[in-house]
Structure formats: C-alpha cells, structure tokens
Structure 1
Amino acid sequence: MLKPKHLALSACAGAMLVAAPHVVAQDTPPVNFIWIVADDLGYGDTGFNGSTEILTPQMDRLADAGVSMATAYVSAPVCGPSRAGYHTGMYQHRFGHEDLVGNSNMGTPTDVLMIQEYLKTLDYRTGLVGKFHDGKPEQYQPWNRGFDEYYGFNNGALTYWVGDNEEEYLYRNDQLVEHEARYLTDAFGQESVDFINRYADQPFFLEVAFTAPHAPMEATEPKLKAFEHLGDRQALAAMISSMDDNIGLILDALEERGIAEHTMVVLFSDNGGKFQHGGSNGVLRSQKATTFEGALRVPFAAKLPGVIPEGTRSDVMISALDLFPTTVKLAGGELDPEWTLDGKDILPVLSGESEVSPHDRLFWRFGAHWALRDGDWKLMRNPREGLFLFNLEEDISEEHNLIRQFPERAEEMRKTWDEMSEAVGPAAWGRFEGTTERK
C-alpha cells in the first residue's frame, strides 16, 4: 500500500498534479532512470554552463545528447534538506526537514513517500550509490527507505581514501565495508556500472550521488598534476574531472548494454558551489548556504532519446522537486490525488513542447535566510544584509537591489512568502526548530 501522508496541500503552494500518465507505446521498453547528483558543484564549473578552466567533456556529452537547463533550482541551499526535497517532490519544510540532521536522531519521516519507494511498487529495481545524508537511526537508512541495493554512506562527507573504514561510515547494503582501496569517486563510478550491468534486462532506478567536489578536498595525484596551473582551484578541478570521467563510464555502460535509448539520465547538483573550496557559480551571486542565486540555481542536464531533443538549452524555470512527478509519469505510474506535491511534471519543458514554466513561484526558507521567486522577480532576506528585491530577467547577478524603488511589489511578495511559510510549517529540528517567524 502506498504511503498516503504527503500532508495537505495549501492553495498558495499550487494545484495538485493529477494528469494522466504519459502515453507509452505497448512495444516500448519501460524507461530506466539514472539521477546523477553532484555535491557542491557550482553553476560555473561545467563546460555546458560555460566553464573554460575546468573541462567536463562527459557532462557536456550528456547535455549535448539532450537539454541543459539554465534556470534549474534546488529547494535548499545545503545538502540534506535539498536531498529530502528531490526525493519526495515536496518542500521538505512540510515534514520539518529545514536544516541538516546533524545528531538530532531525526530524518525524513517514514510515512513520507520517496521516489524509490514508489518505483518499487512498479517493479523497478532500485539502487543508490554514494551519499544519502538523511537521519542516522535505523529506520532512515537507505536499505529501509526503498533502495534494493546501496553502496555509500549516510552522512555529510567522507574521506575519499577510506582504506580500512575505521570511521565505519561506508556500507554495502546494511553491512559495513571492511576496506575500500579505490579513490571514492572511482569506486562510486564502478559500482554504478556494475549495477547497470546486473539489471540491464529489467526496469531500474539508480541514484548516483557523487560526493565530489564536496570537502575534504582530496584528489588523485595524476588529476592534481593535470590542474596544478589552477592554484587554489587545483583540488576542486581534479575532483570534478574524476567525477566527469566516471559519468562517462556510466554513459558508456548504457550504450554497451543497448539500453541508452530507453534510459533517462539527469545530472544536477544538490546546491551551489563553495568559494572556500574553489567553487565558481559563474555569473551568479554568492555561494552555498545563502539564498542568493549562487546557492540555489544549479547545473542541470537531462537526456532521453526520442523524447528530449538533442543539443537544446532552455531558460524555463524548473525545480529539482519536479523530478518526482516527472519520473512517476514516465514510469507509467499515476499521481495519487492524496499526495501533496510541490513539484510539477516538466517533461513538456524538457521535450521542448512547452516554453512556459509550470511554476508561478518558488519558495525557500533556511532559517533566517529565505527567498521567493515570482516570475522574474525575487524577494530574499540575508540576515547580515537585510531584504533584497531583484528582477532576475534584467539582473541575473543580483547586483541591483530594487527594494526602495518597488516597495509595493516587495510587500506583496512578502505577504505571499509569509503565507507559504505558514502553510509548510515550522522546522522539526536543528537551529530553526519550532519557528516560522522570519523577520
């Protein structure tokens, strides 16, 4: 029985998604899904977003085979809440997951449906390779949250040279890995290829949650040597390049097994880049852990041959929350009217059928940091600097604060944000527990 408790959807958060599943010809194989998630990958650190210092030929290969999205957002500016959002298709605040879990003994409630749990009801084989970053108690572990196979860790970060696993973080399913000699990014790439090879003959969902380029800033010697000319960005570039190589191995495996034509591959980051570690968010302002664009707008590319046209780029606003309903419908499932979903089906956007965002607005709250995007307008608060109002169509870099020029517009958006903040409820743990008051 499907989990029903996606809570009640308020009017201000948008209409329920109840459209019929996408029509798939009877002789078409079921769609496989691979979500490739980078960790702290900056908007400006992929070739398809214009990087010339760090080349990413395999990520660009994916983008060239489909669409790259210039205005793709995540629902939080840090790892854990962002992942809770895209796994459930709803603002993670609805179940209190506003902050990192830390040592709270809390996590995404087990009565909130995750995408992998739903796909299992459609007989998909589900796998997670890499980082999970949800609650620490047993009920929140990946093997109890719908993943048939798991190779990775449930924490914010891990050394890239695990060795004898003395910290006891790395797991294969529910068993500790005694020793991992491989560079962790390479291990995750190879484990992903192994999963594809094992399940190429049946429908599967695989999340490949790389830790690169999140700290610790550790890379292989050959990669470090290749980027020694980049100075402070050397380690970051080396880590991204290793991840890019392994993305290439995943794409190769799909082609070698003859299943690339019916496998949807999506690439995105859990949040923006971090300047301290050499990350670049390109033309976007600021970095991870804020609500400026550099924290929330991320690299995003997707391919599905025959459905998503090759070599396209779109500026339509989407959210990582949209992956849940889009995947459900492409898998031949239905969106239950009892679910609360803040994500929308974005296949019409990815396929080029529509050039209109399915979102009137997007909402963010991370304690005293918050934001609302409404069309081209964005109202946000930074606790150190106060309120900002930007027109992103004219000012993508958020250089010109229009709060004094358009006070009525700002007040209208503030009221909308207040309504949405009250509707999603307070944080359940962490620094922001028990409050929805955001001055």
Structure 2
Amino acid sequence: MKLSALIKSIVFSTLCCIAFQACAQHNNPNIVIIYVDDLGYGDIGVNGAIGVETPHIDTLAKNGLNFTDAHCSASTCTPSRYSLLTGSYAFRNKAEILEGDAPLIINPNMGTLPKMLQKAGYKTGVVGKWHLGLGKGKINWNEYIPLGPKEVGFDYSFLIPATGDRVPCVFLENQKVVGLDPNDPITVSYGTRIEGYPWGFQHPELLKQHTDPYHQGSVINGISRIGYMKGGKEALWVDENIPYVLTDKANTFISNNKDNPFFLYFALHDIHQPRIANIKFVESSTMGPRGDVIAQMDWCVGQVKEALEKQGLLENTLIIFTSDNGPILDDGYIDYARELVGDHKPGGIYRGSKYSAYEAGTRMPTVVHWPKEVKPGTSNALLSQVDLYASLASLVNQNIEKGDAVDSQNFMDSWLGKSDKGRKYLLEESYTFGFRMDNWKYITPKDKPVPNWIVEKFVDPGFRTEPQLYNLYEDPSEVKNLASEYPEIVAKMEAELKEILEQ
C-alpha cells in the first residue's frame, strides 16, 4: 500500500471511531438522580403512606420499577452522599456528619461518579444540598471557594452548602455566594459565638419553631440554626422559597443541556428539618409540617418530570429517585411530627430510623424510571447506592480506574429490572455496622452507651453488647434476636464483614 493510501486509511478509521463514539454518547440516556433527605421507606404513597399523597412519585413508580430492598450505604447523610458519589464506603475516609464550614472530604484526585460521566461525554450538574465540605481550610465565604463540586466532576453547581439547620444560610452558585453585597461580608463560626444575627437561646420570641439545645445559634428567617453567622443579609435564603429556587435551577440545567447527554444530581433539602413548607403546601397533609414538606417534595419531583417532558427528553432519561437515610420525626425542631404522625409509618414495616443500624435506617424508597428501557414492576433485588458508580459506568461503557470506586459493583441489569440478582453481602453503616446476607441481618455488638443527643431524638440506634441476628424473611421488623440459635451464621457474617472492613 502506498504511503498516501495508508494515511487516508488511518484517517478514515480514526474518523469512523470518533463518529462511533459520538453516536454512542448521543444515544446514552440522560441521568437524573433525585436524592431526598430523611425520607423513609413508608413515606411515599406506593409504599403505604397515610395522611399525605405523593402522586408524582407514585406515577414514576407506576411507570417504572419500585424497589423493596434497595439501600443507601449509611443511616446518616454525609456518609451516604460520599458513598453515592465515590463508590466507596464512608468509613474508609472516616466520613461523618459535617459542620457547615468543614473542608471538602472527597479527594479531588480520586475518581467520582460525575468525573466518570464527564469522560463519557456528559454535562454534569448538582443542585441542592451538598454537605460534603468545601475548600481545604478556613473558608472565605466572600470569594470564590476553591475545592468543591467542580473539583469532583460537576460542570455546574447550585448549592445549599451544608444543611438548612446550619449556617451560612446562603446559596452558592459555581462556588460563589449568590447575591452577596461586598460591603456586607459574611463571617461564620462554629463553637465561638460571634456578634451578628440574634442567638436563639437569647431570643426565643423570634422563632417560628422552638428547638433542642443544639440548634440555638443564629436566628435567620425566624429559624435558630447550628453555628453563628454575621453579614450577608442580601444573600440570605428564605426557607419557604427553597424548593422553588432549587427546582428552577434544576430545570434550567435541563433546558441548557437538552442537546447533549447530561447528569443531574438533584439533592433536595426536604424533608430535613427545619421543615418549613411554602404556604402552597401548608396543611396539605394530616401530619403537620413533616407531612406538608413530603407533599412539597413530591411537587418538586413532578416539576422536574414535567421539564423533561417539555424538552422531549423523558423517554430517554434514566431517573433514579431515592433518599439519603431513614426517617426521623424529632431531629432538633419542635414541629410535633411525633404527635401528628397518626397511623402513618415512616419506615413502613421496618424497625429503626435515621441514625439507626436497623433496616429502616438504610432501606430506602427507590424508584427507577426510564421509559425506553425499564418495564413497570417491582424488584426485590438487594442493592446499594454505592453500586450506582460501577453500574452507570457499565451503562455508558466507561472503565473504572484502578483504585477508584473500590466498593462499587455492577448491577446495572438489576437496576433496570432485567435481573433480580442482588448483592451477596451488603454493608449498612451507622454508629455501628449492620450486615446483610440473603435473608439474614447481623448487627455488630457495641459496648459504648447511647449518646444523649441520640436518646433525645427518641431513636434506638441498635447498640447492644451482644451480637444481633435477624431473619428478615420471617421477621422483617427485627424483633427476635436469633444470634444464640445460629452461632455458625453469626461467625460467617462476622468473618465476611471483617474482611470488608480490613480491605
């Protein structure tokens, strides 16, 4: 072959390869993860909710796949979010609930779910609650904050920096405070009190909701927060408007990226406390503020689905709806959730809650909707959110670099309802460890007393000095401890758990 002909052949082959890759990327589905906060398995209509309606979520479930045994990786928020985005268990990085001024806990050099999707040609965005830290030291809230969503793979970000009950009570867009007056700079302090906004313990008359002793810091918009804040008056959020602001930003991201594959991580603040419903949703349930913000959250889901429909994108968009940890009724603010819950069971038939090693702590309401690929139905596959990284990598034909997503496994066929295969072993992180194997649930013994702050939330975290073993097929509510009757199963599960913990 002549040199010129060889060159033409190489060029042609290269162009064909590029065209094939571009075509493959174009055919990849859009991916939307709707991540709710503190929503229990039983808090949606299709899973038996009483006293509140969730028509938009129920429609997704009716036309998609509803999972009965899908789990977040931990019974608290920061660890679950870390695992979702990194494919690694949170204990490997000692990830715990963070303060509002904590440094970024995801190593910018490690692989992440959004980075992997960027390589597959996706535009990536995060809208909503972050709570994974920012920067690497003391944060200057008055300038661009280095180290944040951009450094872990998000092209666009619009954030609540931590949670609604922590300062600073401002939004960040692409790592800069939105609407900040440079003549009114922000100062934030955790621990040391600073003069600025009134303090809740001094001015209870200013509060819309009274609180426990841990939420007695700066009063902003009638809500006493954790931590202290000064300045930034023009940038402060209004709690009642948060769902509208976040949903608008999510839908704008969809509109701006409609012509190429996109990944949207839509992390709602609802139904985390403080539960402050917009007037549109006040008394939309029989359960007071907690029920009202469930209805509000459902509306947000409906708005995103509607935005996808308007853009003609719904058919080829993979929507994953789920939550970061189990339900909690009393978590710092007095909104009478325990008194008004009635016959509603936030965790369904499952024992436990947020902070707990029992099943309701991590067994999440989970719906997968993708009209092009997913047939309506129900799945009992045992799955974990830590596996979404490897599963989605398989879906978009991306290899995972060595050392990345070390705990993530590919169960894409199961997420899409094409298989009922689930995990052989599943880890549930809390203030101890739960461990699943088939129908068996093992909880590690713990000799430390339950902290007062957990006791005050009316939570049983599952602390026992002896091992606990439950047969979930026969005893889904984890009532009868069978550890003494099946020592061989306890030993096997202890050994398997030890191997994971020591990897």
Q: TM-score, normalised by structure 1?
A: 0.82
Q: Where do 1:26-41 residues align within 5 Å?
A: 29-41=27-39
> Could you say if the C-alpha distance between residues 49 and 411 of structure 1 is closer, same or farther in structure 2, counting changes exceeding 3 Å?
same
Corresponding letter in the other structure for 1:318: L
Alignment correspondent of 2:359: 293
Matches of 2:352 and 2:162 in 1, distance apart?
A: 25
Give 3-state SS (helix, strand or coil) of 2:444's partner: strand
Residue from 314, 323, 327 that aligns with 2:388: 323
Q: For residue 94 of structure 1, report the CA deviation from its aligned partner.
A: 2.6
Q: Which residue of 1 aligns with 2:198?
A: none
Counterpart of 2:407 in 1: which secondary structure?
coil
Percent identity over the alignment is 26
Larger Rg: 2
TM-fit CA distance, 1:42: 0.8
Q: How many residues align?
A: 387
Match of 2:163 in 1: 156
Answer whether contact 2:105 2:132 (CA < 8 A) is retained.
yes
Superposition deviation, residue 66 in structure 1: 1.0
Give, in angstroms, the shift of residue 322 of structure 1.
1.7
Residue number in structure 1 paired with 2:427 = 363
Q: Using the alignment, how far apart are the partners of 2:324 and 2:25 within structure 1?
A: 36
Preserved contact between residue 291 and residue 382 of structure 1 (Cα < 8 Å)? no
Task: In structure 1, give the amino acid aligned to 2:393.
Answer: V
Contact 1:403–1:410 (Cα < 8 Å) also in 2: yes
C-alpha separation in 1, matches of 2:170 and 2:152: 18
Deviation of 1:185 after TM superposition, in Å, equals 1.3
Could you say what secondary structure the match of 1:313 adopts? strand
Partner residue in 2 for 1:373: 436
CA contact (8 A) 1:31 1:330 kept: no
Q: Match for residue 327 of structure 2?
A: 273
Relative contact order (C-alpha < 8 Å, sep 6+): which is higher? Answer: 1
Q: Which residue of structure 2 lines up, in the alignment, with residue 100 of structure 1?
A: 97
Residue 240 in 1 paired to residue 294 in 2?
yes
- After TM superposition, the structure 1 stretch with the greater mean CA deviation from structure 2, 344-353 or 285-294, is 344-353
For the residue of structure 2 that corresponds to 1:189, the secondary structure is helix
Looking at structure 2, the residues matched to 338 and 27 of structure 1 have their Cα atoms a distance apart, in angstroms, of 25
> Which ranges in structure 1 are unaligned for 5 or more consecutive residues?
1-22, 160-165, 424-439
1:184-233 deviation per Cα after TM superposition (whole angstroms, max 9, x unaligned): 01211111111111111111100100011001121123322233xx3xx3
C-alpha separation between the residues in 1 aligned to 2:405 and 2:126?
A: 24
Moved more, 403-412 or 133-142: 133-142
> Which residue does the alignment assign to 1:346?
411
* Contact 1:107-1:140 at 8 Å conserved across structures: no
- 1:172 matched to 2:173? The reply is yes
Contact map agreement 2:111 2:401 (CA 8 A) in 1: no
CA RMSD of the aligned region, Å? 2.3
Describe the shift of the 1:133–1:167 C-alpha distance in structure 2 as closer, same or farther (beyond 3 A). closer
1:300/1:129 Cα in 2 relative to 1: closer, same or farther (>3 Å)?
A: same
Q: What is the aligned partner in structure 2 of residue 334 from structure 1?
A: 399
Aligned to 1:289, what secondary structure does the other structure show? Answer: coil
2:253 corresponds to which letter in structure 1? F
Is residue 186 of structure 1 aligned with residue 251 of structure 2?
A: no
1:49 matched to 2:50? The reply is no
Structure 1: how far apart are the matches of 2:307 and 2:445?
44
Return the offset for 1:24.
12
Aligned runs of 1:15-164 on 2, under 5 Å? 29-97=27-95, 99-102=96-99, 105=103, 107-137=105-135, 138=145, 140-158=147-165
Q: Verify the 8 A CA contact 1:95 1:109 in the aligned structure 2.
A: no
Which sections of structure 2, spanning at least 5 residues, go unmatched? 1-20, 136-144, 180-234, 332-336, 338-344, 447-462
1:352 is displaced (CA, Å) by 3.0
Q: CA deviation at 1:251?
A: 0.5
Shift of 1:93: 2.3
- How many Å separate the matches in 2 of 1:223 and 1:49? 21
Residue 399 of structure 1 corresponds to 479
What corresponds to 1:202 in structure 2?
A: 260
Moved more, 83-92 or 142-151: 142-151
Match of 2:205 in 1: none
The 8 Å contact of residues 327 and 361 in structure 2, kept in 1 or not, is answered as: yes
Question: For the structure 1 residues 105 and 173, does the alpha-carbon distance in structure 2 shift closer, same or farther, using more than 3 Å as the test?
Answer: closer
Residues 1:288 and 1:400: Cα distance change in structure 2 (over 3 Å): same
Q: What SS does structure 2 have at the residue aligned with 1:221?
A: coil
Q: Does 1:217 align with 2:224?
A: no
Corresponding residue for residue 385 of structure 1: 464
Partner of 2:502: 422
Residue 254 of structure 1 is matched in structure 2 by 308
Residue type at the aligned position of 2:417: G
Q: Counterpart in 1 of 2:488?
A: 408
Tell me how far 1:148 sits from its aligned partner: 1.3
- Report the secondary structure of 1:223's partner residue: coil
| Structure 1 stretches of at least 4 aligned residues deviating more than 6 Å after TM superposition | none
Residues 392 and 412, structure 2, Cα contact 8 Å, conserved in 1: no
C-alpha distance 354-331 of structure 1, shift in aligned 2 (>3 A): same
Letter in 2 for 1:144: E
Aligned to 2:228: none
Work out whether residues 81 and 324 of structure 2, in 8 Å CA contact, stay in contact via their aligned partners in 1.
Answer: yes
CA contact (8 A) 2:32 2:320 kept: yes
Matches of 1:204 and 1:257, distance apart in 2 = 13
Task: Give the counterpart letter for 1:267 in structure 2.
Answer: F
SS at match of 1:225: coil
Deviation of the 1:329 alpha carbon: 2.2
Give the distance between the partners of 1:27 and 1:49, measured in 2 at CA: 35
TM norm structure 2: 0.72
Spell out, residue by residue over 1:257-289, the C-alpha distance to the aligned partner (whole angstroms, 9 max, x if none): 111111100000000000326371111101111
